[in-house]
Amino acid sequence: MALKITCPHCGTEHRVKEPYPLPGAELHCQCGRTLAITYPKGLVARLRARGALFEHGKDDEDTDVFARAPHGPPPDEVPPPPPIDPTVPLRPPTR
Ligand SMILES: [Zn+2]
């Protein structure tokens, strides 16, 4: 589906098709202004859920452009082992 971006300066409608430009990408209008592409919050995620393609960097396919994680410590890779449940009765040895 094509998205419509209306120039706020002259009202010209620009149609953008897949692969959609990323938010912040620039679009040159016939009136000489440069428009910054913006999408309503959540739209990118919705479009991606439908399989829409976006222009993007080579290796960030799974990264939501609205939710770039700040640099921080990596999550624990190995979850801790489950605690031993002391309420489980030990089975008596069978003969
Ligand atoms: Zn314009």
Q: How far is the CA of 3 from the centre of ligand 1 (A)?
A: 16
Amino acid, single-letter form, for residue 72: G
Can you give the residue range of the structural domain that contains 43? Answer: 3-49
Give me the number of domains the chain comprises.
1
Q: Report every protein residue that has its C-beta within 5 angstroms of ion ligand 1.
A: 7, 9-10, 12, 29, 31
Whole-number Å distance, alpha carbon 60 to ligand 1 midpoint, is 32
CATH code at position 20:
2.20.28
Each of the 95 residues of the chain gets a pLDDT tens digit; together they read 788 999 999 999 999 999 999 888 999 999 999 999 988 889 989 999 999 999 865 555 555 555 555 666 666 677 777 787 777 777 777 76
Q: How far is the CA of 46 from the centre of ligand 1 (A)?
A: 27
H/E run at residue 28: strand 26-28
In a domain, 18, yes or no: yes
In a domain, 71, yes or no: no
Extract the runs of DSSP E, i.e. beta strands, from the chain.
Answer: 3-6, 13-16, 26-28, 34-36
Question: Could you tell me if residue 40 is inside a domain?
Answer: yes
Q: Is position 82 within any domain?
A: no
Residue 17 within any structural domain of the chain: yes
Counting other chains too, the contacts that 67-72 makes at CB distance below 8 Å and 24 or more residues apart are none
